[in-house]
Structure 1
Amino acid sequence: MLVLLPPSETKAAGGDGARLELAGMSHPELNGTRRELVDALSTLSSDVPRSLEVLGISERQVDEVERNAALWSAPTRPALERYTGVLYDALDIGSLEPAERKQADARLAVASALFGLVRGTDSIPAYRLSGGGSLPGLGTLRSVWRPVLEPVLAEADDLVVDLRSGAYAALAKVGGAVEVRVLSEDASGKRKVVSHHNKSHKGRLARALACAPEEPATVEDVLDTASDAGLNVEREADRKLCIVVR
């Protein structure tokens, strides 16, 4: 099973890992594009005003530009420890037992605007780049990643559970993936799409799938695992699931 997670804009600082080494990352067929993007982003950081404009951030976030300037020299952390925020708080990777952490590293992957796809054990620096953005001279990240990332994801023979947000799902389609959305239901039974807080529920689902003693292999297994974790998940279509929050 492969569970695709969205990244987060916020990232843990620092780390005790060596500097970025693409050769040691999973999916080495992505390294050419990774290097091109890391070089472009680090070069862009020399022009702070332009960086702020391209990244869509304010002067108060200039430290994000400084992070990008140090991409090749900054210390690294395992990817599942680098990303922070609501989804990753719910995933709570630090609380997993060693055997569960090993499963999480094998079953979970993060969609990344900079690295395409990172596994839990891939060591990466802190950075700022959003999936819906673009870089000077390269164009949109969607146009950069789709030709190289889609073939990689197409090779996933096992069940794929796609928890990515829209901008990151657009970087590469995954045929046959199980898609998951989150709806809230009020006392009258009326349902509506959950926006920000959907991340927490997706994080709980990711944790349940990562920690399941038997690796889920079918949609029915995903439903059973979610139910065991106290999540109310319904099947809307063959490969479309809905977490209902009441």
Structure 2
Amino acid sequence: MLVLLPPSETKHPGGDGAPLDLATLTAPELTPVREQLVGAVVDLAADVPAARAALGLSPAQDGEVARNAVLRTSPTMPAIERYTGVLYDALDVRSLTRAQRARAAGRLAVGSALFGLVGAEDAVPAYRLSAGSALPGLPTLRALWKPVLSDVLAGADELVVDLRSGAYADLAPVPGAVTVQVLSERPDGTRAVVSHFNKTHKGRLARLLATTTGEPDSVVRLRALLRRAGLHVEHHRGTELTLVVPAAAVTR
């Protein structure tokens, strides 16, 4: 099972790993595009106003531009620890046992505007580039990534659970991947799409999928696994699952 996670705009700073080595990242066939984008991001950082415009940053965020300027030489840490935010707080990889962490390493991967795809334990620096960024002189990120990243993801010989957000899923859709919609259910039975706390519940789901000893190979078996774990999961069509959470649990 391969679980695709979205990245986060913000990243944990620092790290104690060696500087970025693109050749060591998951899916080495993505290296040429990675090299092109890393070079473009580093070069762009030399022009701070242009970098702000391309990356959608304010002057108060110039530290993000400074990170990009040194991303070739700055320290790294495992990708699953680099990304921050609500989903990653709920995933909470630092609390996993050694056995769970090893299992997660083989199952979790993160969609990335800069690297295309990184495995959980791939060593990456802090950087700033989002799926919607437009780098001067280059095609759109979707145009760069879709031809090569789609082939990589299509080659997965296991069940793919795609938890990426829309912009990152659009970089390279995965036909046949399981997707998950999160709905809250009120006491009267009415339902609503969960917005912000969608990330919390997907983080919890990712933790479960990363650590389970089960190996589902279809959407039906995945639904059964999640139900055994106590989740209210529905399957109405195709490869889309619906995770239903009580309205009272939406903010927890």
Shift of 1:153: 0.5
Contact 2:134/2:140 (8 A) holds in 1 = yes
Shift of 1:221: 3.0
2:250 aligned partner: none
2:88 aligned partner: 88
TM-score, with structure 2 as normaliser: 0.95
1:146 aligned partner: 146
Q: For the residues of structure 2 that align with 1:229 and 1:93, how far apart are their CA atoms?
A: 19
Q: For the residues of structure 1 that align with 2:18 and 2:32, how far apart are their CA atoms?
A: 20
Q: Moved runs in structure 1, 4+ residues, more than 6 A?
A: none
Q: For the residues of structure 2 that align with 1:126 and 1:52, how far apart are their CA atoms?
A: 17
SS of 1:101 mapped into structure 2 = helix
1:6 aligned partner: 6
Instruction: Mark the runs of 5 or more structure 1 residues left unpaired by the alignment.
Output: none
1:233 aligned partner: 233
Give runs of aligned pairs for residues 46-85 of structure 1, distance below 5 A.
Answer: 46-85=46-85
Q: For the residues of structure 2 that align with 1:78 and 1:222, how far apart are their CA atoms?
A: 27
Shift of 1:229: 3.7
Q: For the residues of structure 1 that align with 2:235 and 2:57, how far apart are their CA atoms?
A: 38
SS of 1:170 mapped into structure 2 = helix
Deviation string, structure 1 residues 185-228 (Cα, Å, up to 9, x no partner): 22222222111110010111111011111222222332233234
Give runs of aligned pairs for residues 1-246 of structure 1, distance below 5 A.
Answer: 1-246=1-246
* Corresponding letter in the other structure for 1:135: L
* Corresponding letter in the other structure for 2:46: S
Deviation string, structure 1 residues 126-150 (Cα, Å, up to 9, x no partner): 0111112221111211111101100
Deviation string, structure 1 residues 82-137 (Cα, Å, up to 9, x no partner): 01110001110001111111110100110000000000111000011111222111
- CA-based RMSD: 1.1
More off after superposition, 235-244 vs 104-113: 235-244
Figure out how many residues of one structure are paired with residues of the other and give that number.
246
Instruction: Mark the runs of 5 or more structure 2 residues left unpaired by the alignment.
Output: 247-252
Contact 1:162/1:179 (8 A) holds in 2 = yes
SS of 2:171 mapped into structure 1 = coil
Q: For the residues of structure 2 that align with 1:202 and 1:27, how far apart are their CA atoms?
A: 25
